[in-house]
Amino acid sequence: MRTRQALVRAAAEVFAVEGYALASLSVISGRAGVSAGALHFHFAGKDALAGEVEAEAVRRVGVVVEGCRGGGVSGLECLVGVASGVLLAVGDPVVRAGFRLSADPSRRGGVDVLGWWRSVVGELAVRAEEGGELAAGVRGEDVVTVVVAGTVGLGVMGMVDGEWSSAERVRRFWALCLPWLAAAPESVVVSVPGCVSVPAGSSVPVGSSVPGAGGGAVSLGVVSSGSAVSGAAVSGAGVSGGAVSGAGVSGGAVSGAGVSGGAVSGAGAEQAGRALS
């Protein structure tokens, strides 16, 4: 079993970089630290090995999907959570290779990872549409177009430059999309691992603090138009990409926070004791 797992991991690393046609079985077996004979004992050839990588990629992403489905959240919030999880999972070579192989013109007849991903997004988009969560004039089909194109595009760029599939990039993606997609974007919780997640439009109680989670940032879906942050301390958090917009910040302390990229716009900041440092 360990040999098989090592081969799948090694194959994923090679497929993710070289693609299917250029991937060499000798390189894969060498990277896994096993003989060519051991490779062929577990897999008939490169096609079978690629199929196993694709199937494992679907399984790993499926864990993210099922975890969200069972979380009791709305269809749109589930879609946001799943899509964010998939983008961050691009750092996993098996997931990265699975998506790359599915789009590789030199490989035919494998697991349709991209088609499977489109069906997952479609299911959640229909759920959001039927639940009245989409903005007027926005159809579930429109959501599928934006989310599939966005996640696949960012994922492809993330294979070359990891910043494209970073938590910050994921937050910015939703900061741009949610105001257009959602009927009530202020009610959608953008949950990105490593970030503070609270509903937009909510009021942070006086005297409370919102620390950065693992150096994470407060972003769209946390403080937006109509929100009130009064007497609260926001510390150790990076606020970026339009995270605080149209919000009143009064009597609160914003300390140790990085504010960049037009993060604070149209916000009223008043009362002594407020600090930006």
**Mean pLDDT across 120-127:** 94
Range from 7-11, 70-74, 80-84, 252-256 carrying the lowest mean pLDDT = 252-256
The residue with greater pLDDT, 82 or 165, is 82
The better pLDDT of the pair 29, 196 is held by: 29
Lowest mean pLDDT among 86-90, 91-95, 138-142, 148-152: 86-90
Q: Is 249 helix (H, G, I), strand (E, B) or coil?
A: strand
Mean of the per-residue pLDDT values of the chain: 73
For the chain, the DSSP string reads -HHHHHHHHHHHHHHHHHHHHH--HHHHHHHHT--HHHHHHH-SSHHHHHHHHHHHHHHHHHHHHHHHHTTT--HHHHHHHHHHHHHHHTTSHHHHHHHHHHT-TT--SS--HHHHHHHHHHHHHHHHHHTT-BPTT--HHHHHHHHHHHHHHHHHHHHH-GGGGSHHHHHHHHHHHHHHHBSSGGG-----TTS----TTPEEPTT-EEE-STT-EE-TTTB-TT-EEES-EEES-EEESS-EES-EEES-EEES-EEESS-EES-EEESTT--B-
The residue written with tokens 């599915």 in the block is 102
pLDDT the model gives residue 263: 36
CA distances to 99, 103, 107, 116, 190 from 20, in Å: 12, 10, 6, 20, 35
CA distances from 92 to 49, 56, 124, 153, 168 (A): 17, 11, 24, 17, 18
**Best mean pLDDT range from 112-116, 152-156, 244-248, 249-253:** 112-116
Categorize the per-residue pLDDT at 248 as very low, low, confident or very high, splitting at 50, 70 and 90: very low
pTM: 0.66
The mean pLDDT value for 30-43 works out to: 93
Mean pLDDT, residues 37-43 taken together: 93
Which pLDDT does position 108 carry in this prediction?
80
Q: In this predicted structure, which of 5-9, 28-32, 42-46, 224-228 has the lowest mean pLDDT?
A: 224-228
pLDDT by residue (tens digit) across 161-208? 878 878 888 888 998 999 999 999 888 876 655 443 434 333 333 333
- Percent of the chain, pLDDT > 90? 38
pLDDT at 192: 55
